[in-house]
Amino acid sequence: MKNSHSSFLRYLGIALMSLCALVQAQQISLEAASEGLQEARELCSSIGEKEKRLAKTAGYDLDKLCGSLELIEFSGTEEAEEPLVTPRQERQSATLAKQPTLDKQTQPQYREKTGALQPFGYDLFAGEPVDFEQASRIPVSPDYLLGPGDTIELGFYGKFNDSHSLEISRDGSVDFPSLGPINLAGMTFSDAKQLLQQRIKHEMLGVQASISLGELRSIQVFMLGEAYKPGTYTVSALSTITNALFLSGGLSDIASLRNLQLKRGGKLISTLDLYDLLLSGDTSQDAQLQSGDAIYIPTVKETASVDGAVRRPAIYELKGKLTAQQLVDLAGGLEPNAFNQSARISRVGKGGFMQVLDLDLTTVKGKNTPIKSGDRLTIDTTVEQKELIVTLSGHVHYPGEFLWRDGLRISDVVKNIKALKPDVDLDFALIRRELPPVGKIEPIFVDLGAVLANPQSEFNIQFFPKDQLMVFSNKKNRALLMQDLAEELRLQARSGEMARIATINGTVRSPGEYPLTKNMTVTQLIAAAGGLSEEAYTQVVELSRYDFSNLERTVSDHFSITLSDAFKDPEKDPQLSPYDSISVRSIPEFRENLSLEIRGEVRFPGAYTFKRGETLAQVISRAGGVTELAHMGAAVFTRKDLRDQEAKQLVELRQRLRAEIAASDLEKANEGKSGGAARILEQLDTAEALGRLVIDLGAIVDGSMDDVSLKDGDLLVIPEYRQEISVLGEVQHSSSHLFNRRLDITDYIDLSGGINPRGDKKRVYVVKADGSVVLPRRSGWFKHRKTSIAPGDTIIVPLDVDRRRALTIWGETSAIIYQLALGAAAVNSF
């Protein structure tokens, strides 16, 4: 029984070791490896403590073998290589994924994803070492020390040809063909090769040999101290300190990068400063390992951080005395936008409070400032605000910035008219100036036309640094472009000081608020507003001014200025004060184009202009009067402002009707009936405002009724004489009938087949030819006979909404719908 257990455990150990080796070497297919891996994991999960103890006595560590299976993963392709170690960043990916990230363009290389500085260099060894070369692929140095487990590849040629692979045994020798045992352990490969060549030459006549190294031995080293995972690691005999760091997962977060110690037999062999490797690529101190070596990583002692305008902001480990310039060099140097005259060190003072030390890194003293542990050096960036420039903007072909120099004038920036776009305003441009020493804003009036006409004149103003010249177009509303500057002037005004702003309104091209320039006059403000419009009244403008001398009460005064005199005589062109307001009036009835359109039965239909106060009868007379076929009783007269008012009333009526229909439908639903009043709303939604004014055109023309005063946009439609009487609504057949004096409302309804079951005979009404609505007396049906019917009239039979409580606005709604429809039909007929 014991033998069977031993055989099983031996088989299990060999199987697990073979699977691990094959998977890592990728010598089996991905599918086969996955199946075998799953089977091995299930087998490991079924092993008990008793089997593990028996396996250990047989020389197999099942815990280690089964644990190695958990580290094996497949990337999904057979070509993908497996990492030799699980990277630390991969193991922490779930935690880092929850942290906020920064934009890659603004996130420094050595900043954490939270934005805080990160220690320099640790991420190199915590990354995935996918490029680690196996020992068989690394060239062997001639100084390589041979030891047990190394293989010598031997090839004979000459007298006979043969090849051998000789492994150095534990006693340090190889069994050399024809020469016997030769001790090679402890010799360098170069010395061993020379020794073998000499013996072959002297003892094997006529034979020459090719000697090289084959598989190399593995050695065990110790990773101690602040290694990420301290312990014993098996590495290639060619491995160095950095190779062992990669295989062991790197360093802990508090490890020193500048004092890695290689110890052999209790003695310090060498010290490695990883900064030499990371910053300058120096591997001279990266010593080769031997079996039993210990790599000790102490904790980091002194650190200092660099932030701001450096290429690699991070926390750096200090080694010896360091100056501010040397710390900047560790951080990769300054960025191009660094302002090295403005730097500071944040340092913990003696009392436990933070202190700040200002530095000027352009001086020797600033560069040689000693750095202490815990210091934070910050270098500021340059301010984006530009100095010694002049800006040109607005209605120009090439806006931009120009270098300021002493004596620079407007003509140096705007050299000729070709630099300006078409429709430029030459009467007004503006300079925004920041006065030293506090940068107070001052607007300056510029007569651009005078500058271009005579560059030697006083109008060619000399620029100050940071001046902005704004050129305007005659077409655009420049008052909008002035809003930012006007707001700046308001903000800089203090108590007791008025903001230098003036207002102009009325008939100018661009009314609004404008900066009040020094000694600005009324005519200059008009020029700033783009000049006068065509309809401007140039004889008199009004200047309104506030008197702020009395703190208890502000008084507004008004002055009349003759504008024609102000343009001719500068003495009569008054200077403006803050918050002055200029009002430019319009010429009465300037280019006032009032028109009326007449369609239909007049001798000369068409559009007619009229003057204010002219009446409808006068324009009809100008149109040659009405024709013999004119039906003046059916004339349709519409007006624009009535149409707008009617549109608003229709909206209100729709809302009232929707509310009442909703209540009606609810009542019908409670009674188990369906409401039919929705048809009314559909008709009202399609109705459009007409703006009809009911007139008696015949009485107006013969003078027996007051005439109509005309307004711009009026429309008169005089249809041809109509003999028919129309019957619409809820009758059996809607139709029209010739007028007959002997017939009344009931007769015409009977001629249309009578009222159908949906009609409401109690609410029959008549839309007269002139658009008025007549509601017959409601005391009884036979009272309808007393309502006279005239040619062109329309009899309407409304819909009975079939409810106990009638819709209160149905009569109003129905009348409006049909009145609008009939009026629109009359207008559209022409």
Q: Where do the domains of the chain lie?
A: 2-82, 141-213, 218-297, 303-381, 389-586, 643-828
Give the end-to-end CA distance of the chain in Å, rounded to a whole number: 119
Residue 1 in this model has a pLDDT that exceeds 50: no
Between 48 and 533, name the one with better pLDDT: 533
**Best CA proximity match to 784, nearest among 741, 743, 739, 731:** 743
DSSP category for residue 48:
-
The confidence band for 57, taking pLDDT boundaries of 50, 70 and 90, is low
CATH code for residues 218-297: 3.10.560.10
Give CA–CA dist 769/767, Å, rounded.
Answer: 7
Residue 763 has which token pair?
Answer: 């609410």
* 567-592: pLDDT as tens digits: 889 899 999 999 999 999 888 766 56
Q: So what's the architecture of 643-828 in CATH?
A: Roll (3.10)
Between 132 and 750, name the one with better pLDDT: 750
* Residue-wise DSSP of 380-404: EEPPS---SEEEEEESBSS-EEEE-
Please, what is the average pLDDT of the chain?
Answer: 80
Location of structure tokens 């019957």: 727
563 dihedral zone (left: phi>0; alpha: psi -120 to 50; beta): alpha
**Best CA proximity match to 533, nearest among 472, 471, 591, 579:** 591
Q: Which fold has domain 389-586?
A: Outer membrane lipoprotein wza fold like (3.10.560)
Residue 34 has which token pair?
Answer: 């996955």
Give CA–CA dist 694/701, Å, rounded.
Answer: 15
Task: Decide if 752 contacts 764 (C-beta within 8 A).
Answer: no
Task: Decide if 588 contacts 539 (C-beta within 8 A).
Answer: no
Task: Decide if 717 contacts 785 (C-beta within 8 A).
Answer: no
Query: Is domain 141-213 in CATH 1.10.10, yes or no?
Result: no
Task: Decide if 129 contacts 91 (C-beta within 8 A).
Answer: no
Residue 49 in this model has a pLDDT that exceeds 80: no
Using only the alpha carbons of the chain, give its radius of gyration.
52
* 584-622: pLDDT as tens digits: 988 876 656 788 999 999 999 999 988 888 899 999 999
Give CA–CA dist 484/725, Å, rounded.
Answer: 68
Q: The domain 303-381 is classified under which CATH number: 1.10.10.200, 3.40.50.620, 3.65.10.10, 3.10.560.10?
A: 3.10.560.10
DSSP category for residue 510:
S
Residue 623 in this model has a pLDDT that exceeds 80: yes
* Residue-wise DSSP of 163-219: EEEEE--TTSEEEETTTEEEE-TTSBHHHHHHHHHHHHHHHSTTEEEEEEE-SPPEE
Residue 105 in this model has a pLDDT that exceeds 70: no
The confidence band for 655, taking pLDDT boundaries of 50, 70 and 90, is confident
Give CA–CA dist 429/169, Å, rounded.
Answer: 98
Task: Decide if 255 contacts 317 (C-beta within 8 A).
Answer: no
Fold matches, 141-213 and 643-828: no
Residue 561 has which token pair?
Answer: 């200025």
Q: What is the pLDDT of residue 56?
A: 66
Q: What is the pLDDT of residue 782?
A: 41
Q: Name the least confident of 67-81, 675-689, 796-810.
A: 67-81
* 443-452: pLDDT as tens digits: 999 999 999 9
3-state DSSP assignment of residue 502: strand
* Residue-wise DSSP of 83-95: PSS--HHHHTHHH
3-state DSSP assignment of residue 737: strand
How would you write 669-705 as a 3-class SS string?
HHCCCCCCCHHHHHHHHHCCCCCECCCCHHHHHHCCC
Task: Decide if 605 contacts 718 (C-beta within 8 A).
Answer: no
Residue 75 in this model has a pLDDT that exceeds 50: no
Residue 85 in this model has a pLDDT that exceeds 50: no
Q: Which residues have C-beta within 8 Å of that of residue 512, sequence separation ≥ 6?
A: 477, 479, 480, 482, 503, 504, 505, 529
What's the whole-number mean pLDDT along residues 9-14? Answer: 54
Give the rounded distance of the alpha carbon of 343 from its chain centre: 34
Tallying the residues shown for the chain, one arrives at 830
For 11, 60, 85, 407, 483, the CA distances from 23, given in Å and listed in that order, are: 18, 19, 14, 81, 74
Location of structure tokens 């690699």: 312
Q: What is the pLDDT of residue 441?
A: 92
Location of structure tokens 């933070």: 354
Q: What is the pLDDT of residue 9?
A: 53
Q: Name the least confident of 136-140, 229-233, 312-316.
A: 136-140
Q: Which residues are 731's β-sheet partners?
A: 755
Class of residue 411 by CB neighbours under 10 A (exposed 0-12, middle 13-18, buried 19+): middle
Residue 15 in this model has a pLDDT that exceeds 60: no
For 222, 455, 457, 744, the CA distances from 741, given in Å and listed in that order, are: 128, 92, 92, 8
Give CA–CA dist 85/128, Å, rounded.
Answer: 7
DSSP category for residue 283:
-
Location of structure tokens 């300058």: 280
For 80, 509, 510, the CA distances from 475, given in Å and listed in that order, are: 68, 8, 9
| Dihedral angle, C-alpha 250, 256, 258, 260, nearest 10 ° | -60
Q: Which residues have C-beta within 8 Å of that of residue 465, sequence separation ≥ 6?
A: 387, 388, 389, 390, 404
Going across the sheet that includes 354-359, the strands are 314-317, 303-308, 376-381, 338-348, 354-359
Q: What is the pLDDT of residue 274?
A: 92
The confidence band for 686, taking pLDDT boundaries of 50, 70 and 90, is low
Give CA–CA dist 488/479, Å, rounded.
Answer: 15
pTM for the whole thing? 0.52
DSSP category for residue 762:
G
Q: Name the least confident of 20-24, 394-398, 734-738, 780-784.
A: 780-784
What's the whole-number mean pLDDT along residues 392-411? Answer: 93
Highest mean pLDDT among 127-141, 159-173, 193-207, 255-269 belongs to 255-269
Q: What is the pLDDT of residue 467?
A: 94
Count helices and strands in the chain by DSSP H and E runs: 24, 36
* 501-511: pLDDT as tens digits: 999 999 999 99
Q: What percent of the chain has pLDDT over 70?
A: 75
Q: What is the pLDDT of residue 8?
A: 53
Task: Decide if 712 contacts 613 (C-beta within 8 A).
Answer: no
Location of structure tokens 């040629």: 157
The residue type found at 15 is: A
For 144, 188, 245, the CA distances from 139, given in Å and listed in that order, are: 10, 15, 20
Q: What is the pLDDT of residue 209?
A: 84
Q: Which residues are 765's β-sheet partners?
A: 796
Orientation of helix 678-686 relative to helix 810-828, angle to 10°: 30
* 726-782: pLDDT as tens digits: 888 888 888 889 988 888 888 888 888 898 888 888 888 888 888 888 877 554 444
The residue type found at 409 is: R
Q: What is the pLDDT of residue 587?
A: 81
What's the whole-number mean pLDDT along residues 541-547? Answer: 88
Residue 717 in this model has a pLDDT that exceeds 60: yes
The confidence band for 247, taking pLDDT boundaries of 50, 70 and 90, is confident
Between 326 and 18, name the one with better pLDDT: 326
Task: Decide if 414 contacts 390 (C-beta within 8 A).
Answer: no
Give CA–CA dist 113/477, Å, rounded.
Answer: 49
Q: What is the pLDDT of residue 114?
A: 47
Residue 324 in this model has a pLDDT that exceeds 90: yes
| Dihedral angle, C-alpha 488, 494, 500, 502, nearest 10 ° | 90
